[in-house]
Amino acid sequence: MKRILTFVLLLSLVATLFALAACGGNDTTPTATPTPAAATPTPEAATPTPEPAQPDTPANGRPAPPTSPTTFNGIPHLPMDDGSQADFDNIEPGSRHVIYMPPGLEFPIYMAIGAGIEARATELGFTYQVLAPTLGADVVGQLAMLQDAIFLNPDVIILATHDEYGAAPLVEQAVAQGIMVMKVNSDIPSFPTPIHAVVGYGQRTAQRAVGEFLVEYLDGREVYLGMTMGLPGWHIGERNGGFLEGIAGADNITIVTEMVGNWNVEGGLAAATDMLQAHPHINVMWGGNDNEARGSQMAAAALGRDDIIFVGNGGDTAGLEAIYDGLIHITAATTPFIIGQTAMDVAYGGVTGTFGGGFIDTPAIVAHSGNVLDLLRQTETLFPPPTRDFN
């Protein structure tokens, strides 16, 4: 009998529990249906008041890349070639980390660019890092470092390379990953794969002006020209091409020979030594950069030659001081520290949505004995500072 009563009580308890559940014991089920007025807020209540746009989030969206010449911070801003402009769709503000990748640590001009980047990066709250092989000829080493940089996933990679086509697949990977990629110290408006920006001077234009100045400087004197060429690639093609355009039509200039100088002093020294021994009538030497021109001058000095005119490209502090000291005579002054600062301004605009792409054409002028003192006195544009007081 107790078992029967117990069983009946259990049945009664279960039934009660089910009844409570059906009547709203479950908290996730509304117990009443609100009136339509309470269920549907008014449009004013549904639309919150917009907050002011943050500095890193422009209210009107990112500007489009230029379709015709304009300016950026007062510097000419030009469109990229068709198909060369990467979009910014997957670029988002992150940790503000920029990696600068010059082709080698041996080049004063790239160290000056890096100093400009670092100075501006500090002002803008970016973490700055540099990855580069020691020698500019170590193209394979730079490509391996580019792989490492992509793995680190920075916000921006600022790249200068002697092998644009070798770097292209990795650049494409970085862009697809959401990293802003910028080419610096260049004027390649058509990189082999789309990139976000290019910051640098017109290399063909700069060396055309150097060639034209040399023709005037020679004043009809008959000369025989030897040329130390940098490593094959866009840079030497543009510089050499521009220089040849500048001296075109000058019947008093004969090109004797050319050799690769590897972009450095040692390469210029070796190439010039061979050229001057084989062709002692050479009396003008052109170098793909100031390092090669300085190496050529050292070769000539070792051979007892003090009758040679030396022409270069770059115009960093050491190159300008070499002109002041009469060691080389003409170069294209490219203000590399300003290039670095400008590149960092572009990087900031890229990750904050205020820059939409394009080529920033930084200035370059012909430097020679007549204006080098004025250039050396503009210490705010130079890195490292001059070794003496030119004021």
147 vs 6, higher pLDDT: 147
Q: Is residue 58 scored above 60 in pLDDT?
A: no
Mean pLDDT of 250-264: 96
pLDDT band at 12; cut points 50, 70, 90? very low
Q: What is the pLDDT of residue 234?
A: 83
- From CA 179, how far away is CA 176, in angstroms rounded? 7
**Range in 47-51, 58-62, 270-274 the model is least confident about:** 47-51
pLDDT band at 204; cut points 50, 70, 90? very high
Q: What is the pLDDT of residue 44?
A: 37
Express each pLDDT in 282-322 by its tens digit.
Answer: 999 999 999 999 999 999 999 999 999 999 999 999 999 99
pLDDT band at 277; cut points 50, 70, 90? very high
Angstrom distances, CA of residue 110 to CA of 86, 127, 209, 365, 383: 25, 19, 22, 18, 10
Q: What is the pLDDT of residue 190?
A: 67
189 vs 93, higher pLDDT: 93
* Angle at CA of residue 389, ends 388 and 391, nearest 5°: 155
State how beta strands 127-130 and 156-159 pair.
Answer: unpaired
Mean of pLDDT over the chain: 86
Q: What is the pLDDT of residue 189?
A: 65
- Domains of the chain (ranges; CATH) run 72-201+336-362 (3.40.50.2300), 204-333 (3.40.50.2300)
56 vs 72, higher pLDDT: 72
Gyration radius from the chain CA atoms: 32
